Amino acid sequence: MNFNKVELEKRINELAIEIWTIKLTDMLAWWVVSDVYSAELETIEWENKQIVVKYTKENISLWTIFSEKDRDYSFADIQATHELDMDIQKILNVKTPKIIKHFSEDNITLMENFANEDYKLLQGCIIDWELPFEASKNLWESLATVRYDLEVNWSNFKQVEDSGHQFDERFFELQALLYNWRMDKFNKIKEDFVAKNRNWVMWTDWDQKNFAVKPNGEVMVFDFGRSVICDPDFLLPNLLGHLGLFTIAWYIENPIEFLKSIQESFMRKYKFFNSDHIFNEQKFINYFTASLIHRGMAMRWIDTRIANNIWEDSMKWACMAFWDEVFDKENPVESIEELFSILETIRSLAEQGKYKRPKVR
Ligand SMILES: Nc1ncnc2c1ncn2[C@@H]1O[C@H](COP(=O)(O)OP(=O)(O)OP(=O)(O)O)[C@@H](O)[C@H]1O
Ligand SMILES: [Mg+2]
């Protein structure tokens, strides 16, 4: 059974009866896995405290299921992702939202609202042009730390979702795009991601909706529930690929420097933990491009305001131009330098209106 807003509020008040009352206010998110609400909490200690309630439903909405395969495998045990989220958060050495109360049986967590500490969602910071350059260093240091903490502790966590099915769900559109033309690329990317020879549970959801940033550049990280056993090298280019999309849409000041700073800070910090790590440039290029184009082409799970600067259809055409060059059969891109330089060119062409489609009569 899934609780709606009224039932959820009632349930929390039942669970925590002696101490507080809670009133759910706005719904902040209702994506694949959880419903997230802002709420007002009253306890002996606090009066009218602004908090956030995350609730993971028993059944996820039908529109997020692509196939029977998804229903049977990938999302079969989706409630378990909530517990995994909490368990992972406990072992991390990075700033995460403070948990006020976690009701394990009902998959309900009450936590501090990060806005109380002047944090704002990374996506909002970008769209409102409030992203401080100093955030780049903190973002990537946080990521390197999360990666390392998970590498050290992975054996404490059990795999909740199947890696192959999560990949299919993430890259649903990419497969269609590369079908018949660069299926070799798609298969290689999937083979790397699934990483049968690795057994680390890794956080795959590194994107601009799972970070919050303060005006001074400090960073908070959250939402670890969909971690699966996969290639840890996916994490950095996946997030950078998302930011590549904002770059094309003419957001972020000095975006190429920002991306480079992120990448360099990440590698420096991660090398500090693991001096044997060898950076695989080709894999980075593949994952970066895959993340950028599947999000840009489908505009799914991404704020549609992103494309407003250059028009939504322009985003798709620009993305196509990007992967056409990067995955060119005769002359594929082989260095990050070249990858970022193509991105810079496409950003500037997009801003000049090159990818705008003529109006359909
Ligand atoms: N502690 C918090 N303080 C303020 N806002 C929060 C907090 N936790 C979550 N949110 C808001 O709710 C959104 C969804 O939360 P979260 O990422 O944990 O859930 P999710 O269902 O896994 O979402 P998604 O599928 O978008 O990643 C966040 O992007 C953020 O806007
Ligand atoms: Mg999230």
Question: What gap in Å lies between CA 316 and CA 297, rounded to an integer?
Answer: 5
**Ligand 1 site-directed mutation target among 32, 109, 206, 209, most atoms within 8 Å of CB:** 209
φ/ψ bin of 47: left (φ > 0), alpha (ψ from -120 to 50), beta (otherwise): beta
CATH superfamily for 1-112 is Phosphorylase Kinase; domain 1 (3.30.200.20)
Among protein residues, the one whose CA lies closest to atom 25 of ligand 1: 31
Q: So what's the pLDDT on residue 301? A: 65
Highest-scoring range by mean pLDDT, 272-276, 351-355, 356-360: 351-355
Ligand 2 center from residue 333 Cα (angstroms): 31
Give the gyration radius of the chain's Cα atoms: 21
Question: What gap in Å lies between CA 169 and CA 240, rounded to an integer?
Answer: 20
Pocket residues for ligand 1 (CB within 6 Å)?
Answer: 28-29, 31-34, 36, 52, 54, 97, 111-115, 121, 205, 209-210, 222-223
User: Is 313:226 a contact under the CB 8 Å cutoff?
Assistant: no
Among protein residues, the one whose CA lies closest to atom 26 of ligand 1: 31
Question: What gap in Å lies between CA 313 and CA 210, rounded to an integer?
Answer: 26
Question: What gap in Å lies between CA 208 and CA 33, rounded to an integer?
Answer: 17
CATH level 2 (architecture), domain 119-361: Alpha-Beta Complex (3.90)
**CA-CA distances (angstroms) from residue 76 to 55, 83, 133, 301?**
17, 15, 41, 21
- Closest ligand to the CA of 121: 1
User: Is 23:71 a contact under the CB 8 Å cutoff?
Assistant: no
Among protein residues, the one whose CA lies closest to atom 29 of ligand 1: 209
Lowest mean pLDDT among 14-18, 90-94, 210-214, 347-351: 14-18
Is the pLDDT at 29 greater than 80? The verdict is yes
**What are the domain boundaries of the chain?**
1-112, 119-361
Residue 190 parent element (H or E):
helix 183-194
Model confidence band, residue 359 (pLDDT cutoffs 50, 70, 90) = low
Question: Which ligand 1 atom is the nearest neighbour of the CA of 225?
Answer: 22
Q: So what's the pLDDT on residue 137? A: 87
Q: CB-based burial of residue 352 (10 Å sphere; 0-12 exposed, 13-18 middle, 19+ buried)?
A: exposed
Q: What is the pLDDT of residues 104-116, one digit of tens each?
A: 999 999 999 999 9
Mean pLDDT for 24-50 is 88
- Cβ neighbours of residue 348 under 8 Å, at least 6 residues apart? none
Among protein residues, the one whose CA lies closest to atom 13 of ligand 1: 29
Is the pLDDT at 123 greater than 80? The verdict is yes
Edge to edge, the sheet with strand 34-42 lists: 21-30, 34-42, 49-56, 108-112, 99-103
Q: What is the pLDDT of residues 273-309, one digit of tens each?
A: 888 888 889 999 999 999 998 888 876 667 777 777 7
The end-to-end CA distance of the chain, in Å, is 48
Question: Which ligand 1 atom is the nearest neighbour of the CA of 121?
Answer: 31
